Structure 1
């Protein structure tokens, strides 16, 4: 059996196991382990051992539980509720103001957590009922929450970019900085779309009643202080890191401690909140570590088979594609896979193939990390099986049907596609900030 055929059998076997509902790390690890034993006998047992040692020695991985804990503390202690109250008061007089404020809420939640699920949960439980109660169009606000929550995997501290850094062997700090401008650009495009749509069709996002807008200035300022607390936490974490005063791991610890102290000082750090935050952090951190371990072992076997060279030969020699044609084809494959896989699964399945190929084609791997993340955001919201679609269905009230959810994301997917095209055409959108900070 040729090396190329072995690689195809491995990839097909893994996809088949995933489609049967097996856990991601179990499917990837099992196929990799079986292939290693069949190809190299008992020597194949060294591959997962080597992957485990590599994982344990990767110091920046310590940031993962820190950021997850920080996000859960801020979420479970209801500090995120203060954000929405702030937007409710300050943005209420604007047409579509609460929907615009929800996008701002999602950006701040992303800066606290780094996971899209957290933004979705907060948006669906806090923002969605309020928006519907104030007669906002259900299609528009459903799309707003799904699109806004997807920013969690692009705006730092993105957990997905940490995993990409691990697999692509790129600096996490540069990847985070590369995601800042594209993430803010996408949020701005969302806000512009909402504002324009509500200007054309005012009934989609009515202003708040006058009695709800008549809030004393002192109360507005109090809500502003409470709502900006997450920004202060984010600044205490990121500024020392960007200035070079702390390492990435030290900054993540500062963020976790600051969030914990903020919840304590506000009197919201109960035993239940602490236990829920710690248990959730442990569960998600262990899940990610098992997935990375399986991916490293699987990728080592792919490298040993020469699968990367085979894929490169297929694209360039047999299909006759140029570098940009190959890049676009890879992005399309991410969107297709995103209809039935989550972002982590997509990354660990194809990164051993795509990342070396992207480097061989002469593209910047930091820039490609941002492209991958934006494409994942689109895949999350693409029917029929987009990940965010079903999360929203599980959390939305009964009056919002699955058909409504599918229809709601169409304009926001178009905005994301525009953002992806802009970053592809103008790489400096992603690369300017890391190049400036790191003096390249």
Structure 2
């Protein structure tokens, strides 16, 4: 675009590179932190301990699924999705496997929970994207209210996928 508008110069290149470097370093720090966290969980036995602790509640697999879904929604109100995935996947996927869930199906449910948490107040990233493109006099409460239909539709999709797991597994089953 800079070449098209003839605004490409050394300062633009330096500023763009610095911005990209900042975002890249931040992403790698998050990945490094989560990899360290995952390794710490694995080496300390905490992952197995958390798994035993969660299973000890003797809840039905469906109840555990909704608890994990709720945890993802609550975390999504305050964290970005990459951090949430890196924090919860090392704990949730072994638990899902132990509960007998198809891991592809569970992964789709987790991704839908992350997508829903993108629009959950108070810090859902999409809410701030909507605020950025909305007219300047738009209040955040109006944006929160505008996100509710999308959240409800996505929750309906999750419920349908729980009731009819083949919806999520149709294409993967074609590959097998």
* Coarse TM-score class (shorter-chain normalised): 0.7 to 0.9
Match of 2:62 among 321, 324, 327: 324
* Equivalent position of 2:40 in the other structure: 301
Residue 113 of structure 2 is aligned to residue 375 of structure 1 = yes
Match of 2:8 among 260, 264, 271: 271
Q: How far 1:379 sits from its partner (Å)?
A: 1.3
CA distance in 1, matches of 2:125, 2:75: 11
Name the CA shift for 1:409/1:293 in 2 (closer, same or farther; >3 Å).
same
Q: How far 1:412 sits from its partner (Å)?
A: 1.4
Which runs of 5 or more structure 1 residues have no equivalent in the other structure?
1-76, 79-263
3-state SS, counterpart of residue 271 of structure 1: coil
Asked which structure has the greater RCO (Cα within 8 Å, sep 6+), the reply is 1
Structure-to-structure mapping, 1:364-403, within 5 angstroms: 364-403=102-141
* Equivalent position of 1:423 in the other structure: 161
1:386-431 CA deviation, whole Å, 9 max, x = no partner? 2322333344322211111111111111111111122223333333
1:204-255 CA deviation, whole Å, 9 max, x = no partner? xxxxxxxxxxxxxxxxxxxxxxxxxxxxxxxxxxxxxxxxxxxxxxxxxxxx
TM-score, with length taken from structure 2:
0.82
Name the CA shift for 1:290/1:269 in 2 (closer, same or farther; >3 Å).
farther
Q: Which has the larger radius of gyration?
A: 1
Q: How far 1:307 sits from its partner (Å)?
A: 2.1
3-state SS, counterpart of residue 409 of structure 1: helix
Residue 166 of structure 2 is aligned to residue 406 of structure 1 = no
User: In 1, are the aligned partners of 2:51 and 2:94 still within 8 Å (CA)?
Assistant: no
Which runs of 5 or more structure 2 residues have no equivalent in the other structure?
none
CA distance in 2, matches of 1:356, 1:400: 44
Structure-to-structure mapping, 1:130-145, within 5 angstroms: none
* Equivalent position of 1:150 in the other structure: none
1:47-87 CA deviation, whole Å, 9 max, x = no partner? xxxxxxxxxxxxxxxxxxxxxxxxxxxxxx49xxxxxxxxx
